[in-house]
Amino acid sequence: MPADINYWPLLGVAVVIAGFTMRRNPVLVVVIAGLVSGLAAGISISDLLGLLGKTFVDIRVLLLFLLTLPAIGLLEHFGLRERARSWIAGFRGLTLARFQISYLGLRQLLSMIGLNHVAGHAQTVRPLVAPMSEAAAERSLGPLTDDERNTVRASAAATDNVGLFFGEDVFMAFGAVLLIQGFYSRNGIELEPLSISLWALPTALAAFIIHSVRVHWLQRRLIRDRACQDVSEAGK
């Protein structure tokens, strides 16, 4: 290897290892490691502070998202899931299929206008949608078994994924839409982001219909399996 390589910036790695070994504050450890590596690389203090400030501004959206996780954890600790279950149980005629299809439509509509992070697995599925789906399923089945509960939770997570994935392409400022536009532009085909978004609408509608049918089939399968189980136990 060339002899003029500066290995001193690797001291930052040692700082990270030492800091995590001593169970220090992760944010403080990473900042100190960055300062150590920067100084070892010959970067001035003013330039380092400017780089840290620019990085913080660039990832502020991610930081705001991470700050919501402790709040959700506290809400769950104080009974958010139980409250969500009891609230859904009070709606007459609300089935698993009706609830998840309603959430699917809402998730798609929010994604279509760029509100991707309003819902999600951490924000809504685990604390709200999953327990609400369980409560709606129990209306038809009674107390759920562990397998049934896991199936209902998986369906809630899948519903969120489908709503987000096929809804966000309709938002013309979404990164994937701009990526498609750039790809076609490099190959001599000029497309407007609005036209790409409009062509994504039929796919989003088809995804809504197909997944709605899947949720209906899931509900019917759960009811059929429970009926077969009851018949089998009655015959013993």
Q: How far apart are CA 47 and CA 177, in angstroms?
A: 35
**pLDDT for the residue numbered 1:** 45
For residue 127, which of 105, 101, 160 has the smallest C-alpha distance? Answer: 160
Q: What percent of the chain has pLDDT over 90?
A: 28
Name the pLDDT band for 77 (thresholds 50, 70, 90). Answer: low
What is the mean predicted confidence (pLDDT) over 73-91?
70
Q: How far apart are CA 163 and CA 103, in angstroms?
A: 8
Name the pLDDT band for 109 (thresholds 50, 70, 90). Answer: very high
**Does pLDDT of 172 surpass 60?**
yes
Output the six-digit token pair for 130: 């999953």
CA 157 to chain centre: 9
Domain boundaries, given as residue ranges, for the chain? 8-58, 68-234
Which single residue is written with the structure tokens 């501004």?
57
CB 11 within 8 A of CB 37: yes
Name the pLDDT band for 235 (thresholds 50, 70, 90). Answer: low
Q: How far apart are CA 30 and CA 33, in angstroms?
A: 5
CB 119 within 8 A of CB 165: no
| CA gyration radius, the chain | 25
Q: Which of 1-5, 177-181, 182-186 has the lowest mean pLDDT?
A: 1-5
Name the pLDDT band for 217 (thresholds 50, 70, 90). Answer: very high
**pLDDT for the residue numbered 64:** 56
